[in-house]
Structure 1
Amino acid sequence: PYGEGAGSADAFAQLSEGDKVLLVSFLNSLGRVEFDDNGDGHVNIIDFIAFKAALGSSSTPNTPNAVHDINQDGIISIADFAYFMQAYEGENGDCNGNGVADLMDLLTGTSVDADLNGLPDECVPCPADFTGDRLVSGADLGVLLGTWGQSDVPTDLNADGNVGGADLGLLLGAWGPCP
């Protein structure tokens, strides 16, 4: 290499492939919004997933996960998460009513978010679950059949004013555990 950057290019070329990846990752993290792990300018569910993966790990200003260590104590911790929740742009209420923010429930494992929508799964609507057990099963089928032909009832899943075959199809399509 020639020119002003020749020394830097030579130094970079001497690095192992792993160190090259770490260096580029670090350089990409510069100037990012705090907690914005993927660099898209927003703190959202993708960044929450990255924070959760980094929780408890060590961090230095030279590591890519430094965007999560807001108090700069070298450990990504619950103390950092308090600030993450302030920066988070998504919904963060208390949908399950347990007195704890939804993201904290997800971080600590109190709740699960299998569909990665940022909400505890127990808060995601499951319209075909008429019995409230988070499972669409024979019990729900019985409830639907018991209201066959009726209108203005929760079992009218397609809201066409009549419990019928279309509602049965929707129930069967949702069969199994709720998301």
Structure 2
Amino acid sequence: MSTKFNTFILTALASSSSFGLTPAASALPPVTAISGYSFTRSGMDLNYVAIEFDAAVLPFEVQAFVSKLGGCLAVPENGTDNFNAAISLVLIDTGAPEDNAAWLGIVHTPAGDGELHWSTIEGDSVYFLAFDKGGSSNSPEAPLGVALDAHSQQWFDVTLDDGSSNIRRAVLSFPASMLDCDADMIPDALVLALGLGEDQDGDGRLDWCAPAGDFNGDGIIGAADLSIMLANWGLGGETDLDADGTTGASDLAMLLAGWQQ
């Protein structure tokens, strides 16, 4: 298993746009810290993104936001997964005890049978659980969300219908194949949606990145870049400009559209 990480503690706060959220429409608070962490699960490359807001959020709000971008709240499937989620949080740790916890994408909604049925926010059953049994209320009568303690690597449940949660963090999960022009393990789409970067030319990439197709970093798209793309034909990686998993005709068209730019 390979891992990489990158961290940004933001000094300039940026407000997100308003989204149609569940259960109620809301705008996410400004972001104060964000960190990307890359790992491989069962042969699939994933990025966990730990994010901190300057005010409390609910898991439904965060899930609604990231699902529009192709991601979700993280749902660890085993102990290694859970460790990776905790590590991603430690990277933005401010040292304040109340900031150790972060939402995962796991909830319990009362089913009327007096039993706990843990599932993802999307409704899929969850089989791996890492609860701190001494700290969990596990009430079958109230909607519960799951938070991960970054230091103990254990979970605890949080009642969602009483408005008392002060959790400001969440662990997000994205496919590593998503466009990430600066290779910080934070998808460009997320950075743009949070208002932490700009895309003035509308190419879907952050403006501080080199033009799409400038593989050798000389500032223009030319013959050397074409050679790099052809050598990687049929494969993934940086030459897969449309992020469909392979370098092909559509990627070549995108490169030629920016020729000598």
Specify the TM-score bucket, using the shorter chain as the normaliser: under 0.3
Q: Which has the larger radius of gyration?
A: 1
Name which structure has the greater RCO, CA cutoff 8 Å, separation 6+: 2
More helix by share: 1
